[in-house]
Each structure stands twice: as structure tokens, then as C-alpha cells.
Amino acid sequence: MKNAIRIAGVSLLALVVASEAAHADAGKSRAQVQAELVAAEKAGELPVGEDSLTPRERFPWLYPAPADSAPAKSRAQVQAELAAAENAGDVVVGEDGLTPRERFPSLYPPAAANGPAVTREQVRADLAAAQKAGEIPQGFAAIAPRDLTPGLLTDSGSAPDLAHSGLSSTSSGTN
């Protein structure tokens, strides 16, 4: 019993010492913490309500963008970027949300490819490998063959030998 009390006392003492050390490391005075709180409230950075949204997230038009959000561009740079986007047909026009490039693709040059070009033969080889592995759904069902019959396909992608397993593809289920 005495050992249990001593262990509890030592544990409590260690907890208090660790807590004091953690607070000592912060190095901020009460006034600094209060000033940071007021600044965060003014900037709309404190979550409010059940959905935990900050006022900045809920009402972004009421709060200026943070100074470190993006490098500043001159008016001329922004206008040049807009003119380039309009010429390329990449600016949404109208209520349907389509760009001129999407509406009239024949009027604009094709967009540059984002990745390395893949030949038709490479695509066919990849498709054949995926079908063999059972990763591509076949037919009208949107379920891959490996999901329909888990464990039926082996690691090599081929069906197991049913003749030696007691099952055969010709059995009708009756003996």
C-alpha cells in the first residue's frame, strides 16, 4: 500500500514538473497571448459554431487576403494574362460555364499534351495486361472479374486447374 502511494506521488510530481517545463518553453507572456488572440479574432481565424468554420471561411469577402498568400502582380501583368487566356479561349463566357475552346474547338489549336505520348501499341499492351489480371470490367456489369470470383484467378491471371480440385467446368451440380 505504501509503495502504491509513493508511486502515485512520484507520478504526480513528474507530471507537475513536465507541465511546468512545457509552459516555460512557450516563452510568451500573458499580454502576448492576449494580443495574438485579439489579432486572430480580427483576422477571422478562430472557428465559430458547430461546423468549425472560421469567419474567414464563411464570409471571405469581409476579410482581406493574408499578405503572404500570393506574390503581388502588377495591373499590367494581370491584364496581359487575361488577354492571353481570352485569345486561347480559356475564359468562361456565358451562363453555361463553357469556354469558347469547349464550344468551338475547331477555332482553337489543340491544347499541349500534359504527359509523354503513348503509342497505340503501348495502350493495347497495357489493356491486354489489365484484362488478363482481371482489372478491367467486361460486358455490361461494371464489376471486374476478380471481384466477381475472388480467389478464382491465380497470381498469373489464369484460372486454376479445376480438374484436380474436384470441380469441373462441365459439372451440372448434380451427382
Q: pLDDT value at position 36?
A: 92
Measured in Å, how far apart are the chain's first and last C-alpha atoms?
A: 73
Q: How would you classify residue 144: left for phi > 0, otherwise alpha for psi between -120 and 50, otherwise beta?
A: beta
Q: By mean pLDDT, which of 30-39, 67-76, 96-105, 110-119 is the weakest?
A: 110-119
Q: Per-residue pLDDT averaged across 24-41, rounded?
A: 84
Task: Give the model confidence (pLDDT) of 113-129 as tens digits.
Answer: 666 778 888 989 988 88
Contact present, 19 and 12 (Cβ < 8 Å) = no
